[in-house]
Amino acid sequence: MTEMLQILDVDGTLVGESPVDDSVTRGLYEAMVTARIFDHKATALQRQGRLATYAPYEGQEAAQIGAVAMLEPGDWLVASYRDGAAMQSRGYPWTQLLLTRTGDERGGRPPAGVNVLPPSITVGAHMVHAVGLAWAESLKGTDAVAMTMFGDGATSEGDFHEAMNFAGVYQTPTIFVCQNNGWAISMPRARQTASETIAQKADGYGMPGELVDGNDVLAMYDAAARAVDRARRGEGPTLIEAVTHRIRGHTTADDDGRYRSPEETARWAERDPLERVRLYLDAAGVWSRKWQEEIESAATAAIEAAVEEAESLEPFTAEEIFDAMYAEVPPPLAIQRRRAAEAGLA
Amino acid sequence: MAELNYREAVAHGIAQEMRRDPLLVMLGEDIADAGGVFKTTVGLLDEFGPERVRDTPISEQAIIGAAAGAAMTGIPTIAEIMFSDFIAVCFDMIVNEVAKARYMTGGQISVPMVIRTANGGGSRFGAQHSQSVENWCMMIPGLKVVAPSTPVDVIGLLAASIRDPDPVVFFEHKSLFATKGEVPDGEIVDTLGTAAVVRQGTDCTIVALALMVPRALEAADRLAEEGISAEVIDVRTLVPLDTETLLGSVVKTGRLYTVEENPRLCGWGAEITSIVAEEVFWDLDGPIVRITTPHIPLPSAEALEDLAIPSADRVHDTVVKTMG
Ligand SMILES: Cc1ncc(C[n+]2csc(CCOP(=O)(O)OP(=O)(O)O)c2C)c(N)n1
Ligand SMILES: [Mg+2]
C-alpha cells in the first residue's frame, strides 16, 4: 500500500513537518469549528422542516478546509453538494449555501468575484469543468489554478476518466481532490473500484497522485500547497486522495443503518479531524477554553445571521424563473412569462 | 386481492418476473443492500441473491452498456438509472447502441432489456433531479416507452416490458410511490401499446400520463358536478402508442386536452395533437388544448414547483375556460 501522508496524528502529535506556523493552524482550526457548527445547524434546520434534504460533511472538515486554505482569490473551486465547508472558506456565503437547500435559485449566485461555482449535483460533471476553467486561465496568461472536489464514488463516472485524461494531456493547472469518505450512499469504497487506492489512478493519466490522511488538516494543507505550486508553475495537474469518513448518513433522508454498522462510524469518530488539532494547539500553548468559546459564539452568531438572512428574503418569483433562463427572454417564453405574472404559470 | 403502494408494486413486479425467469438479472446504484434510494427494490437481494440483484459503481454508461451486452446474449436485464435526469449521462448508450442494435444487425441481435428510472417532479428536488423526460425517449426510434400511474399497472406493464424482446424505458413516478391501489392475486401481465379509458365521458377527452392521471381524474370529477362530462385516458405507453383508443375517444367527444408534466416544447402531447389533427380533424368541435409545464427548468421552491406542474385546478379551469 502506498504510504499515506500524515503530519498530525490522532493524538495531536506532530509526526512530520508542519507546512504552516501556529497562527495559521489556529485559523484552520477556527474554520473547521465554524464549519461544523454550520453542518449541525443545517441538519437541525432540515429536521425542523426549514431546509430540504441536506448532505452533511461532518468528519470531512479537514479534507475540505486544508485543501483550499492556500488558494488565491483568482483561483477556482468547483465542488459537490457535500463541500459547503470548502466553498464557504473560499467566499461562498453561508446564506447562499442555505438557499441551495431552501429551494431558492438565488443559492446558485455567489457574490461577484468569488470564483466558486455552485455545488455540483450530477455526480462527476464538475470535474470536467475544472479542466476547462484551468485551461482558460492558461489561455489568458494568468497563473490561477482550478481545484475540484469530488467523492470516491465519483471516480467511477466516465467524467472522472475524461477530466483526468484531458488535464494530463493539456497539462492544465487543475488539482483533483477526491474525498474518499468510505461510502457512496450504500456502496462501500471497496466495491466502488478494484484499485487499491484512488491516488494510484493518477499514474494512468501521467500526473502525480498523493494519498493523504484526510482527517489531518496539516497534511491536507501540505499536499494541496505542493500541488497548487506545481500547477501555478505550469507543471500540470495533481490528484490528491483524502482518506476520510462520512460520519452521518448520505443525506438527512438516508437511513445508513440499512447498510453499515454504527461501530464503523464510532471508530472513525475517534479520528476526528478537529480534536487532534485542538490537542496540538493546547500542547503548543495556543489554545484555551475561553478562546474556544469565543470562536464558537462568533461562528454561531454568523451562522444565525445567515439563517435569518436566508429566511427573510422575498420569495423567488415565477417571473424570475423565466428571466434566469436566457440572456434575453425569447418571445414565446415571454408570453409564458406574462401568463405566469398574471395567474400563476399557465 | 391485496393493497400495495406503487413503490411496493415495483419490487412485486420484478420479483414475479425473477421467479418466472431464472435468467433475469438486475443492476443499478444502491438497489441491493439499500433496497433502492426510493425503496423500490426492497427484499429482492434477499430473495434472489447478489448475482441477480447487483449494486454497481456510479457508472451509468456501464450500467446501460453492460446490461445491453448481457441482453444481446439472451439474458434479459433490468437496468436502473436512479434519477431519470441521469439518463442524459448515458444517452449515447441508449440512443446509439441499445435503440439501434436490432436495426443495424437486421434483427440478428435483439436487446431484451428494461431501463427503469425514477421520473418527475413534486419532491422539491430542483432542476437536475425532478425532470419528466419521457419525451426524450419517445423521440428515439427503436425504444419503447412506458409510464404507469397505478400499482397494478406498474406490475402488469413491468412484466410486459421485461417479456418484450425490445428495449423499454420504464418511468416510475417519484410522486406516485406512496399511492395505493388494489392488486389481484396471481400473475399479472399487461399489454404494451394499450391505453386505458379510466373515466368515461362524452364532452371532451383528457389524455394524461403518470402523475397527471390522478390530477386529470380529480378535475373530471369536478367538471362532472358542473355539467361537463370528461373522458379521461391514461396513455400508459407512449411507444407503442394506442392511437385507436385515443382517436376513438376524440371522435366521440370532439374535444382534446393533453395534460403533460414534461416541459412544453416537443412534449408527448404535441405528438398526440398532431396525430389527432391529421387523422380526425373534421371530428373536432374546438381547438386542441395542451396543458403542460411551461418551457422552464423545474424550480425547487415548493410554491413554484406546484405552480409549474399542471394541477387538477389548472386542468379544470382550462377546460371550463375553453369549453365556454
Ligand atoms: C450522475 C449521477 N448519478 C447518480 C447520482 C445519485 N447520487 C448522488 S450522490 C451519490 C453518491 C456519491 O458518492 P461519492 O462520490 O462517494 O460522494 P459522497 O456522497 O460520499 O460525498 C449518488 C449515486 C447523481 N447525483 N448523479
Ligand atoms: Mg463517498
Spans of all domains in chain B: 2-183, 196-323
**Nearest alpha carbon, ligand 1 atom 17:** A151
**Nearest alpha carbon, ligand 1 atom 11:** A184
State the residue for C-alpha cell 500540470.
Answer: A236
Specify the DSSP element, H or E, that contains B70: helix B60-72
With H, G, I as helix, E, B as strand and everything else as coil, classify residue B256: strand
Q: Which residue of B has its CA nearest to A344?
A: B307
Contact check, Cβ <8 Å, A318/B307: yes
Cα(B307)–Cα(B164) distance, integer angstroms: 38
pLDDT band of B324, cuts 50, 70, 90: confident
Phi then psi for B44, rounded to 5 degrees? -70, -40
- The residues with which A76 forms a beta bridge, in sequence order, are A146
Q: Spell out the domain ranges in chain A.
A: 22-315, 317-346
Q: Which three cell numbers stand for residue B250?
A: 376524440
- In terms of phi and psi (left: phi > 0; alpha: psi -120 to 50; beta: otherwise), the region of B243 is alpha
Nearest-neighbour CA in chain B from A327: distance (Å): 14
Contact B46/A at CB under 8 A? no
Mutate to test the interface with A, among B83, B130, B133, B300 (most CBs of A within 10 A): B300
Residue range B72-81: average pLDDT? 98
Query: What is the number of other CB atoms lying within 10 angstroms of the CB of residue B250?
Result: 26
Nearest-neighbour CA in chain B from A156: distance (Å): 5
Which chain A residues are closer than 8 Å to B314 by Cβ? 344, 346
- Preceding amide of B50 cis, omega within 30: no
With H, G, I as helix, E, B as strand and everything else as coil, classify residue B150: coil
The closest alpha carbon to A26, from A197, A263, A195, A218, belongs to A218
pLDDT of residue A346: 41
Cα angle for residues A213, A219, A222 (degrees, 5° grid): 145
Mutate to test the interface with A, among B59, B86, B125 (most CBs of A within 10 A): B59
pLDDT of residue A336: 87
Q: Which residue of B has its CA nearest to A151?
A: B58
Which chain A residues are closer than 8 Å to B295 by Cβ? 332-333, 336
DSSP A78: E
Q: Which residue of B has its CA nearest to A341?
A: B307
* Cβ–ligand 1 contact at B85 (below 6 Å): no
Which chain A residues are closer than 8 Å to B264 by Cβ? 336
pLDDT of residue A340: 79
pLDDT of residue A342: 77
Contact B296/A at CB under 8 A? yes
pLDDT of residue A1: 55
Which chain B residues are closer than 8 Å to A259 by Cβ? 33-34
Helix B312-323 vs helix B212-225: crossing angle, to nearest 10? 50
Positions of E strands within chain B: 2-5, 25-28, 53-55, 77-83, 113-119, 144-146, 168-173, 180-183, 196-199, 204-208, 230-234, 237-239, 256-263, 289-293
**Nearest alpha carbon, ligand 1 atom 19:** A184
Cα(B139)–Cα(A206) distance, integer angstroms: 41
Fold of A22-315: Rossmann fold (3.40.50)
pLDDT tens digit at each of 346 positions of chain A: 579 999 999 999 999 999 999 999 999 999 999 999 999 999 999 999 999 999 999 999 999 999 999 999 999 999 999 999 999 999 999 999 999 999 899 999 999 999 999 999 999 999 999 999 999 999 999 999 999 999 999 999 999 999 999 999 999 999 999 999 999 999 999 999 999 999 999 999 999 999 999 999 999 999 999 999 999 999 999 999 999 999 999 999 999 999 999 999 999 999 999 999 999 999 999 999 999 999 999 999 999 999 999 999 999 889 999 999 999 999 989 988 888 777 654 4
A–B CB contacts, 8 A cutoff, strictly below: 104
DSSP string, A268-328: HHTT-HHHHHHHHHHHTT---HHHHHHHHHHHHHHHHHHHHHHHHSPPPPHHHHHHTTSSS
Q: Which residues of A are catalytic?
A: 246, 250, 259
Cα angle for residues B144, B150, B153 (degrees, 5° grid): 50
* Ligand 1 center from residue B29 Cα (angstroms): 9
* C-alpha dist (Å) from residue B146 to A210, B14, B107, B172, B182: 47, 15, 23, 9, 20
Cα(B158)–Cα(B16) distance, integer angstroms: 10
Q: Which atom of ligand 1 is nearest to the CA of A55?
A: 19
Q: Which residues contact residue A244 at a Cβ distance below 8 angstroms, ignoring those fewer than 6 apart?
A: A59, A60, A62, A63, A179, A180, A181, A182, A214, A215, A273
pLDDT of residue A344: 55
The closest alpha carbon to B145, from B188, B195, B107, belongs to B195
Residue range B221-238: average pLDDT? 98
**Nearest alpha carbon, ligand 1 atom 3:** A123
Cα angle for residues B145, A185, B116 (degrees, 5° grid): 10
**Cβ contact A36:A247 at 8 Å:** no
* Cβ–ligand 1 contact at A186 (below 6 Å): no
Which chain A residues are closer than 8 Å to B302 by Cβ? 103
Contact check, Cβ <8 Å, A340/B294: yes
Nearest-neighbour CA in chain A from B107: distance (Å): 30
Superfamily covering domain B2-183: Thiamin diphosphate (ThDP)-binding fold, Pyr/PP domains (3.40.50.970)
Residue B251 has pLDDT above 60, yes or no: yes
Contact check, Cβ <8 Å, A344/B307: yes
Contact check, Cβ <8 Å, A122/B303: no
Contact check, Cβ <8 Å, B304/A318: yes
Active site residue B173: no
Cα(B36)–Cα(B54) distance, integer angstroms: 11
Cα(A118)–Cα(A107) distance, integer angstroms: 8
Contact B314/A at CB under 8 A? yes
Give exposure, A98-135, as e/b (b: 16+ Cβ within 10 Å): bbbbbbbbebeebeeebbbbbbbbbbbbbbbbbbbbbb
**Is this model's pTM higher than 0.95 or not?**
yes
From the CA of A180, the nearest ligand is 2
Cα(A57)–Cα(A34) distance, integer angstroms: 13
Cα(B153)–Cα(A156) distance, integer angstroms: 35
Amino acid letter, residue A106: R
Beta-sheet pairing, A183-184 with A187-188 = antiparallel
Residue range B7-13: average pLDDT? 98
* Radius of gyration for the alpha carbons in chain B, expressed in angstroms and rounded: 19
Question: In the CATH scheme, what is the code of domain B196-323?
Answer: 3.40.50.920
Tell which one of A54, A123, A251 to mutate to probe ligand 1, the residue whose CB is within 8 A of the most ligand atoms.
A123
Positions of E strands within B157-309: 168-173, 180-183, 196-199, 204-208, 230-234, 237-239, 256-263, 289-293
Cα(A296)–Cα(A314) distance, integer angstroms: 30
